[in-house]
């Protein structure tokens, strides 16, 4: 097999590993909590993201006759804790947390009363649940595909530059184009639909998702420009490593947050009209 094919395979493995890492470390993915109930180990998947127009279902795979309660309040506020009883459903018990505005948050924990003891889930470190608006599939899917394609081509360009293959510059140009379209066009459109702001990174906020896209773009822009007239593979290697590094930051950290006291999202300031 040609060396070039092996480089593509290696780049694909690195990209897949990065995608899995993103999928499992971000603060919007369900939190798995294991607990012991009457001699059995039970796993609860506690949601950390929900659509703002709907109640958020929290399910427990426990017998219906065991009392369970969910305590919750808006975050970050000084609201008193509200309480709701879990009710029976087909697979166990379920509770429904109330809808919130896009970027609104609720924190919650659970109490299970299994006499003679009580079981608390996330009491000392409550789960933070963030709500978002509906994002059109026509925007979400291209954004995800373009951004991970950018990671793939970035890794290929870096590996080709590292092994001094003459066509490395082409893949850097493709990476830059993918970042412009995926991160510079579809990214803001998705952000606007989810939270009402097109851009929440520098200079308007500290959303790490937007800022890491900006850093990756600037890194690849610098590498492509510096290689226009001369071969500088080192710049491509640096840009590829930089993109992998910033993409290793868990998705949605320091994201948009609704300020209940002001009645608005506080991390972004661009609210240009978007016709959907």
Whole-model pTM: value is: 0.81
CB 194 within 8 A of CB 133: yes
The pLDDT of residue 1: 55
Q: How far is CA 227 from CA 128, 129, 159, in A?
A: 45, 45, 16
Greatest alpha-carbon pair distance for the chain in Å reads: 76
The per-residue pLDDT for range 221-267, each reduced to its tens digit, is 999 999 988 889 999 999 999 999 888 776 655 567 878 888 777 66
Domain coordinates in residue numbering, the chain: 3-26+136-265, 38-132
Q: Which of 55, 40, 61, 42 is nearest to 108 (CA)?
A: 55
Q: What is the CATH number of domain 38-132?
A: 2.60.40.10
Mean pLDDT to the nearest integer, 206-224:
88
């Amino acid at each position: 097999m040609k060396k070039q094919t092996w480089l593509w395979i290696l780049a694909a493995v690195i990209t897949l590993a990065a995608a899995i890492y993103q999928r499992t470390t971000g603060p919007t993915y369900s939190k798995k909590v294991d607990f012991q109930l009457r001699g059995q180990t039970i796993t609860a998947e506690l949601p950390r993201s929900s659509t703002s127009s709907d109640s958020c279902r929290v399910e427990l795979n426990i017998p219906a006759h065991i009392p369970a309660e969910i305590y919750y309040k808006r975050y970050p506020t000084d609201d008193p804790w509200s309480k709701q009883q879990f009710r029976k459903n087909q697979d166990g018990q379920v509770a429904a947390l109330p809808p919130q505005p896009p970027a609104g948050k609720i924190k919650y924990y659970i109490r299970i009363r299994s006499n003679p003891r009580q079981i608390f889930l996330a009491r000392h470190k409550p789960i933070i649940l963030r709500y978002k608006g509906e994002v059109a599939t026509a925007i979400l899917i291209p954004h995800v595909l373009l951004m991970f394609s950018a990671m793939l081509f970035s890794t290929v360009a870096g590996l080709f530059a590292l092994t001094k293959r003459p066509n490395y510059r082409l893949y850097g140009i493709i990476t830059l184009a993918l970042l412009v379209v995926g991160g510079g066009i579809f990214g803001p459109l998705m952000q606007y639909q989810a939270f009402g702001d097109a851009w929440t990174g520098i200079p308007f906020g500290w959303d790490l998702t937007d800022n890491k896209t900006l850093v990756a773009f600037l890194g690849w822009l610098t590498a492509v420009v510096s290689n226009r007239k001369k071969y500088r593979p080192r710049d491509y290697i640096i840009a590829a490593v930089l993109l992998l590094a910033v993409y290793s930051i868990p998705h949605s950290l320091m994201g948009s947050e609704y300020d209940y006291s002001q009645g608005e999202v506080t991390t972004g300031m661009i609210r240009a009209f978007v016709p959907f």
